[in-house]
């Protein structure tokens, strides 16, 4: 395993052999990323590509976190939203295996892969970035804070060798929010009462119950005479797995048969991901605030539970040809880390709740500050245990995470990513999945690079600058599934959609929720008038025919009426002369009606509302 750990250290010129005296190591960079998981590797790649010198420190020898080092190599969600680095990673998987159909091997996902292959791809992406130094094998020791500002962190490896990294911007991409806790950022754990979030769903009273975590396993199909049987685990009890599948259900419940249960996470090359939620290897324990040693003791218990489940698969279900794959260079052939579904959730400048996610165009317009798209439903894993929830989860459309959810309310110099962003417990059930978490990391990296390069704290960086950097990197701001990145009006639609001048239509849909823009549909007068009502509350245009096709001259008239009705104190009023002059050039009454895509492009070019209209953390237009 030493060669894998050194692979990361080579990038920082730290890998040494023999018994040289232990010396303290010091590094400085513009951006420090703590944690090389799904968010961390994306954050580091984006920051480095943006030109910021970046150091990524990860405890394990692998990059990718829950996607690789935790063995959850079946991605959940965003199949039709191949945004940014998530889309790039998926494309590299397609290239490695020979096409999309080669990774659509199990029924839980459209994209399944071997964890070691995912790790290899992330390393390949990291090694070509000259601004990125990756250091593995170091655990977080202490966050460096001075005057309410995070300035770096110290680490130590298994031999006690210290490492100090200083940077003006630090990204917490740890699995459990350990950096933000040490930095003094307020946070929540568990479920909030409905009165605390304003949501219609959730418990009457707050509690500290979190979702189960899972120590996954990767199994391999072995040929005749090459079986890899596990020894019977101590305290093995097959009744713990009763009704994991219909082939072993003493209660007579219907459900997946044993083969279908395995095919849930069927990977390429005869392997299987064992991350089964129904009487399987989910494990309940709350280790978030425990010490590393205490966490390790609980993880050992979770590992034993998973090994019992593998033994159950081999012996009770009869799959003796399945054994642990030689996937991970670990003594027990299990992943380096468990799959955590919940973390600390920081108290940020905004908290993203179900109200925002379910109804983005009603109330607080946080969608205008969106930076990371997702389409997964609200999905929690709760094994039966005392005090567990019994409520239903609501149906939601696809969504975009607001930038302010990544920013602590008061602490400076820190951006929070992974699963520790400022969301309600309910919303965490949707934002915690791998593609969305990668995109949260990419947003954090783009933001950190801008802050470091301009010498500003992250909270002073213009939100629109962060969004524009993400657009340039091929990331989505709004979750429009019918406008792919290669669409000729993609950027214009994303920009105008982020102002609300044109809106999408969200649809809850099974396990891949949707938001449609309908770019090829003929635009109607209502399409534009509804957006203008955000500018001028109660806007009632004259000679308005809502269902009629929208021609350029009529669009100019509607905009002119809205500009004339702007209150003098509106932050938009100062732009009125410039916009009126631009609109005066749109005079042709015979031009054909706009499609919605061409209307977005015309609005983007004529008014430039995305760059002209600054927004604050609440998504409101500001006078800046």
What the block records as the tokens of 455 is: 């010498």
- Please state the φ and ψ torsions of residue 360, each to the nearest 5 degrees: -60, -30
Sign of CA dihedral 55, 56, 58, 62: negative
pLDDT per residue over 46-88, tens digit each?
Answer: 999 999 999 999 999 999 999 999 999 999 999 999 999 999 9
Rounded mean pLDDT, 333-351: 98
Residue for token pair 């769903």:
201
CA atoms within 13 A of residue 251's CA, in its CB half-sphere = 11
Residues 457 and 526 in one domain: no
pLDDT per residue over 587-599, tens digit each?
Answer: 666 689 999 999 9
Domain total of the chain = 3
Inter-helix orientation angle 115-127/38-49, to 10°: 20
Q: Where are the beta strands (DSSP E) in 316-455?
A: 322-324, 345-346, 370-374, 399-402, 414-416
How many other CB atoms sit within 10 Å of the CB of residue 194? 19
Residue 525 in domain? yes
DSSP 145: E
Q: Which of 370-374, 525-529, 563-567 has the lowest mean pLDDT?
A: 563-567
Give buried/exposed letters for 425-456 (b at 16+ CB in 10 A, else e): bbbbbbbbbbbbbbbbbbbbbbbbbbbbbeee
Residue 126 in domain? no
DSSP-assigned states of every residue in 431-491? HTSHHHHHHHHHHHHHHHHHHHHHT--GGGS-HHHHHHHHHHTT--SS--TTS-TTSTTHH
Instruction: Please check whether residue 400 is in contact with residue 375, taking contact to mean a CB–CB distance below 8 angstroms.
Output: no
- Report pLDDT for 418: 98
Give buried/exposed letters for 275-305 (b at 16+ CB in 10 A, else e): bbbebbbbbbbebbeeeeeebeebbeebbbb
Rounded mean pLDDT, 416-438: 98
DSSP 13: T
pLDDT per residue over 134-186, tens digit each?
Answer: 999 999 999 999 999 999 999 999 999 999 999 999 999 999 999 999 999 99
pTM: 0.95
DSSP 100: G
* Separation between Cα atoms, residue 617 and residue 324, nearest integer Å: 48
Residues 35 and 136 in one domain: yes
- Report pLDDT for 223: 83
Domain boundary among 440, 472, 504: 472
Residues 36 and 171 in one domain: yes
* Separation between Cα atoms, residue 223 and residue 257, nearest integer Å: 22
Question: How much of the chain, in percent, has pLDDT values that exceed 90?
Answer: 86
- Report pLDDT for 587: 62
Residue 21 in domain? no
pLDDT per residue over 102-146, tens digit each?
Answer: 999 999 999 999 999 999 999 999 999 999 999 999 999 999 999
Residue 14 in domain? no
- Domain of residue 169, residue span: 2-9+26-61+131-192+347-382+391-472
Residues 542 and 453 in one domain: no
Looking at the predicted structure, is the pLDDT value of residue 2 above 50?
A: no
Q: Which of 14-23, 73-82, 427-436, 439-448 has the lowest mean pLDDT?
A: 14-23
- Report pLDDT for 240: 95
Residue 203 in domain? no
* Separation between Cα atoms, residue 45 and residue 56, nearest integer Å: 9
Residues 357 and 282 in one domain: no
Rounded mean pLDDT, 236-241: 96
Give me the residues paired with residue 423 across strands: 352
Mean pLDDT score of the chain, rounded to an integer? 93
User: Coil, strand or helix: which one is 45?
Assistant: helix
Sign of CA dihedral 239, 241, 247, 253: positive
DSSP 229: P
Residue 387: pLDDT band with limits 50, 70, 90? low
Residues in CB range of 613: below 8 A, 6 or more apart: 499, 571, 572, 575, 621
* Separation between Cα atoms, residue 333 and residue 504, nearest integer Å: 46
Instruction: Please check whether residue 309 is in contact with residue 274, taking contact to mean a CB–CB distance below 8 angstroms.
Output: yes
Residues 362 and 319 in one domain: no
How many other CB atoms sit within 10 Å of the CB of residue 73? 33
Looking at the predicted structure, is the pLDDT value of residue 566 above 50?
A: yes
- Report pLDDT for 6: 39
Looking at the predicted structure, is the pLDDT value of residue 14 above 50?
A: no
Residue 13: pLDDT band with limits 50, 70, 90? very low
What the block records as the tokens of 47 is: 């920051």
* Separation between Cα atoms, residue 150 and residue 178, nearest integer Å: 13
Where do the H-state alpha helices sit in 251-291? 258-263
Give helix then strand counts, H and E, for the chain: 18, 21
Residues 175 and 220 in one domain: no
pLDDT per residue over 484-523, tens digit each?
Answer: 999 999 999 999 999 999 999 999 999 999 999 999 999 9
Taking only Cα atoms into account, the Rg of the chain, rounded to an integer number of angstroms, comes to: 26
User: Coil, strand or helix: which one is 360?
Assistant: coil
Residues 237 and 306 in one domain: yes
Among residues 437, 385, 475, the alpha carbon closest in space to that of 70 is found at: 437
* Separation between Cα atoms, residue 332 and residue 304, nearest integer Å: 11
- What CATH number is given to the structural domain containing 439? 3.50.50.60
Instruction: Please check whether residue 169 is in contact with residue 31, taking contact to mean a CB–CB distance below 8 angstroms.
Output: yes
- Report pLDDT for 243: 94
* Separation between Cα atoms, residue 12 and residue 27, nearest integer Å: 9
Residues 287 and 235 in one domain: yes
Looking at the predicted structure, is the pLDDT value of residue 4 above 70?
A: no
Residue 267 in domain? yes
Residues 467 and 495 in one domain: no
Give me the residues paired with residue 505 across strands: 516
Residue 91: pLDDT band with limits 50, 70, 90? very high
CA angle 132, 137, 142 (to 5 degrees): 85
Instruction: Please check whether residue 211 is in contact with residue 330, taking contact to mean a CB–CB distance below 8 angstroms.
Output: no
Residues 514 and 468 in one domain: no
- Report pLDDT for 389: 67
Residues 54 and 176 in one domain: yes
Looking at the predicted structure, is the pLDDT value of residue 5 above 90?
A: no
Residue 107 in domain? no
pLDDT per residue over 284-338, tens digit each?
Answer: 999 999 999 999 999 999 999 999 999 999 999 999 999 999 999 999 999 999 9
Residue 384: pLDDT band with limits 50, 70, 90? confident
Residue 622: pLDDT band with limits 50, 70, 90? confident
Residue 163 in domain? yes
Looking at the predicted structure, is the pLDDT value of residue 395 above 90?
A: yes
Domain boundary among 472, 505, 521: 472
* Separation between Cα atoms, residue 89 and residue 394, nearest integer Å: 31
Instruction: Please check whether residue 396 is in contact with residue 514, taking contact to mean a CB–CB distance below 8 angstroms.
Output: no
């Amino acid at each position: 395993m030493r060669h894998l750990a050194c692979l990361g250290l080579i990038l920082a010129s730290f890998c040494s052999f023999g018994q040289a005296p232990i010396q303290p190591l010091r590094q400085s960079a513009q951006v420090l990323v703590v944690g090389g998981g799904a968010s961390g590797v994306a954050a580091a790649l984006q920051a480095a590509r943006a030109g910021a010198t970046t150091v990524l420190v990860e405890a394990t020898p692998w990059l990718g976190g829950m996607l690789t080092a935790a063995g959850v190599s079946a991605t959940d969600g965003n199949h039709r939203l191949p945004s940014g680095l998530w889309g790039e990673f998926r494309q590299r998987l397609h290239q490695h295996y020979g096409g999309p159909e080669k990774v659509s091997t199990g029924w839980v996902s459209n994209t399944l892969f071997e964890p070691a292959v995912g790790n290899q791809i992330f390393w390949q992406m990291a090694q070509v970035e000259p601004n990125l130094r990756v250091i593995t094998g170091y655990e977080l020791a202490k966050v460096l804070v001075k005057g309410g500002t995070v300035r770096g962190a110290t680490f130590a490896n298994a031999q006690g060798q210290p490492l100090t990294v200083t940077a003006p911007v630090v990204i917490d991409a740890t699995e459990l929010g350990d950096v933000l806790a040490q930095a003094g950022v307020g946070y929540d754990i568990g479920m909030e009462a409905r009165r605390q979030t304003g949501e219609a769903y959730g418990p009457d009273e707050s509690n500290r119950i979190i979702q189960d975590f899972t120590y996954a396993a990767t199994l391999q199909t072995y040929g005749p005479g090459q079986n890899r049987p596990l020894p019977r685990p101590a305290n093995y009890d097959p009744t713990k797995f009763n009704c994991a599948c219909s082939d072993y259900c003493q209660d007579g419940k219907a459900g997946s048969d044993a083969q279908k249960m395995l095919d849930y996470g069927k990977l390429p090359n005869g392997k299987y991901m064992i991350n089964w939620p129904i009487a399987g290897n989910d494990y309940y324990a709350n280790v978030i605030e425990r010490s590393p040693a205490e966490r390790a003791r609980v993880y050992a218990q979770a590992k034993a539970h998973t090994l019992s489940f593998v033994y159950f698969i081999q012996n009770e279900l009869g799959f003796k040809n399945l054994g642990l794959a030689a996937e991970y260079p670990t003594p027990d052939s299990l992943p380096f880390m468990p799959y955590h579904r919940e973390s600390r959730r920081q108290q940020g400048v905004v908290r993203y709740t179900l109200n925002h996610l379910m109804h983005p165009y009603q109330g607080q317009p946080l969608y205008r500050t969106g930076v990371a798209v997702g389409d997964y439903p609200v999905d929690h894993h709760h094994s039966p245990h005392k005090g567990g929830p019994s409520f239903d989860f609501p149906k939601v459309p696809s969504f975009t995470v607001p930038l302010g959810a990544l920013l602590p309310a008061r602490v400076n110099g820190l951006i929070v990513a992974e699963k520790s962003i400022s969301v309600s417990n309910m919303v965490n059930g949707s934002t915690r999945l791998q593609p969305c978490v990668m995109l949260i990391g990419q947003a954090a990296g783009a933001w950190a690079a801008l802050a470091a390069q301009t010498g500003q704290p992250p909270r002073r960086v213009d939100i629109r600058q962060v969004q524009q950097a993400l657009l340039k990197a091929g990331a989505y701001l709004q979750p429009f599934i019918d406008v792919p990145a290669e669409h000729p009006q993609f950027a214009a639609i994303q920009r105008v959609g982020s102002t609300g001048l044109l809106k999408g239509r969200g649809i809850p849909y099974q396990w891949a929720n949707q938001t449609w823009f309908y770019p090829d549909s003929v635009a109607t007068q209502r399409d534009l008038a509804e957006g203008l009502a955000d500018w001028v509350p109660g806007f009632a245009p004259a000679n308005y025919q809502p269902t009629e096709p929208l021609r350029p001259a009529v669009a100019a008239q509607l905009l002119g009426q809205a500009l004339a009705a702007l209150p003098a104190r509106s932050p938009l009023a100062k732009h009125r002369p410039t916009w009126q002059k631009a609109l005066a050039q749109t005079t042709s009454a015979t031009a054909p009606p706009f499609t919605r895509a061409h209307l977005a492009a015309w609005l983007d070019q004529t008014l430039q509302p995305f760059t002209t209209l600054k927004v604050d953390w609440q998504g409101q237009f500001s006078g800046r």
